[in-house]
Every structure is written in C-alpha cells, then in structure tokens.
Amino acid sequence: MRTWRVGTISMGAALVGLGVVLLVSQFLHLDLTTILLSWWPLVFIILGAEILFFVFFSRKESSFVKYDILSILFVGLLGMMGIVCLLLTSSGLMEQVKAAVKSEDKTVNLPGFNEMAGKGIQRVVLDSGSYPLTVESGAEESVSIFGTYEERGMENAEPLLKRTDDYLMVKRKGDTLYISFKDMPITNRLLDSGRMNMEATLIIPADLALEIDGRSTDLVLKPRKLLNDWNVKDGGNLRVYLQDNSDIKIEARGADKLEGPKDGWKVNDVKLEAASEEEPVKKNGIFKVGKGNHILTVTDTYHVTVHEP
C-alpha cells in the first residue's frame, strides 16, 4: 500500500514559484509587490488540485493519503501573507508602505519672492507663521524672501512647493504691504508625522516700518542700519544682531528673559506680581546703541537676546 503525502508538491511548487518571482524581479527591475499580489492565489489552487488528485487516485489503488502538516502550514502562511497584502492594497496602506520605504528626506529651495515696494508703500505687516524666520533690513527698494524647506518624497518627484502662493500670502492695501507665511501641508505617513520644516529669510528696505506677529515662533532680527521703527509682538526666542554703526533703541515689554552684553539692558520696570507662582516674573527693559533714533519695540516675547559684533 502506497502512502501519499499531500502538501509536499504544493510546498515545492510554492518555493519554486517564489524563487522564480524573486529572480525575475531582480533582473527585470519589476515591482515585486505587484507580482506577488498576482501570484499568491496559485498556491491555494496547487494545494487544492493536489488534494483532489490524490483523493481521486486513492480510489483506484490501494493507497493511503497522509497530509504533510508542515507543508500545508507553510502554504497557508504564504496564503495569509497574500491576503494581508491584498487588504493593505485595497485600503491604500500598501502605497504608503512603498512610499515610506522608497522615499528620502530632501532639503529644497523655497520658490523665491521679490517685489518692488514702490513709493506708495510705507510699512510692512508680517505674520511669521509657525516656522523660524530671519528678518533683515536692506539697501534695495524691494521686498524679497528666500530659504529652504525639508520634505520627504521620492527621488525624482516634483517639489511640493512650486510657487510662492503655496507658502506665502501677499497683499497690498493702501500704504501697507501684508505678508503672511502659510502653514506647510501635513500628510499622513506611517513612519513619521509628515510635518515639514522651513527656514526663510525676509529682506525689507531699511526705510520701511515693520510690524511682526511672531505667533510664539523663534525670530532672528538683523536691523543693520535701521531707518524706521520695527515692532514685534508675541515672539518665542528672539535674537537681535547689531552691527558696529547701529543706531537703535530696543524696548522690551513683558519679556521673561533679557540677555545680552554686560550692562547692556537697563531694566526699568519689573512686575513684582505674576499671574501665578509657576509663571516667571515679566520684565521691561531698554537696550540702546548710538543715539537710538529708531526704535525696535518687543512686546510679550519669551526670550530676548541682543548680540553685538
């Protein structure tokens, strides 16, 4: 009496098929995921055909059909993996997995912005957005923005930000130029939060007034040879870089920390009572360089640091 081990042929065929798929995908640079999704149902077809064949064969001969449990478990494991891949594909998660594996972190240049202020513009109102920003005064009559941002994507993919409108809102109204940085898009990803970082620099003519809404973000100011007044409110960590011929007076109101050169700050008003015991005492101070003809007013900013050359 012959003994037939059902499952051995199926496992062998599955191993041969899997090896062929891997070999072909290596030489032809094919998408292995797509091939496996198309190939895995054949495993169940081979196993079912093998069982039917030996059941039919055992009726004609004196034979004993024995199931190879290990082989059947192996074939079932391949089948379960195929079902999982199919569910991931139908739900869209497979594309995210493939994108996460093949993607890379890139630093990309922001689309540049440059606009002539003109004689009609007297001030700039800036919403700095949620990302660190550097603001400088310049000798030219144009307002310009440049910088970089980080994104995760495929090697040859198009950059996420293609135009200035993708990250910037600019509007002229009367004698004021309004500039607002938009929040970068956030995508749902498996391996990270999908949030991107951006670092930009804004250059404005030195003779224009400037008002900044910091939105508790970190700011770097380089007023250089300032010819008008600047105002900053609701900043995070604010660093002010001065040059040798600076002529400026910095007035800080409601700051948690004031730092700079020794004996630079003149703290003229300290609030003795905080809102609660856990909150730090707010400070008001003045830092003056030169005659102080032009004023940089800093209101409700956490940390103000002045750097001299």
Q: What is the pLDDT of residues 213-223, one digit of tens each?
A: 988 899 999 99
Within a domain: 97:
no
On whether the pTM is more than 0.85, the answer is no
230 pLDDT band, cuts 50/70/90, is very high
Give the model confidence (pLDDT) of 281-302 as tens digits. 788 999 998 888 899 999 999 8
Q: Which of residues 91, 121, 141 is at a domain's end?
A: 91
Do 26 and 115 share a domain, yes or no?
Answer: no
The better pLDDT of the pair 42, 225 is held by 225
Question: What's the domain range around 38?
Answer: 2-91
Per-residue confidence band for 274, with pLDDT thresholds at 50, 70 and 90? very low
In a domain, 100, yes or no: no
Q: Tens of pLDDT along 102-143?
A: 666 788 899 999 988 877 889 999 998 888 999 999 988 899
Mark whether 178 and 235 lie in a shared domain.
yes
| pLDDT at residue 190 is higher than 60 | no
17 and 139 belong to one structural domain: no
Cβ 283 vs Cβ 267: under 8 Å? yes
Tell whether 289 is covered by a domain: yes
Query: Taking 80 as the threshold, does the pLDDT of residue 240 lie above it?
Result: yes
User: Is 154 in the same domain as 46?
Assistant: no
Please tell me the predicted confidence (pLDDT) of residue 272: 47
- Are both 210 and 245 inside the same structural domain? yes
71 falls within a domain: yes
Question: 53 and 202 in one domain?
Answer: no
Number of domains in the chain: 2
Model confidence at 80: pLDDT above 80: no
Same domain, 82 and 120: no
Residues 188 and 46 in one domain: no
Strand partners of residue 306: 240
Q: What is the mean pLDDT of residues 53-78?
A: 64
- If you average pLDDT over every residue of the chain, what do you get? 78
Closest by CA to 147, choosing from 200, 184, 87, 225, is: 200
Whether residue 96 is contained in a domain is answered as no
> In this predicted model, which residue has the larger pLDDT, 98 or 284?
284
**Where a domain ends, among 91, 118, 151?**
91
Whether residue 113 is contained in a domain is answered as: yes
Whether residue 151 is contained in a domain is answered as: yes
Residues 111 and 87 in one domain: no
- 186 — pLDDT class (breaks 50, 70, 90): low
161: in domain:
yes
Pick the last residue of a domain from 28, 63, 91. Answer: 91
pLDDT beyond 60 at 200: yes
* pLDDT bracket for residue 178 (50, 70, 90): very high
Same domain? 235 vs 117:
yes
> Are 78 and 120 in the same domain?
no
Same domain, yes or no: 75 and 115: no
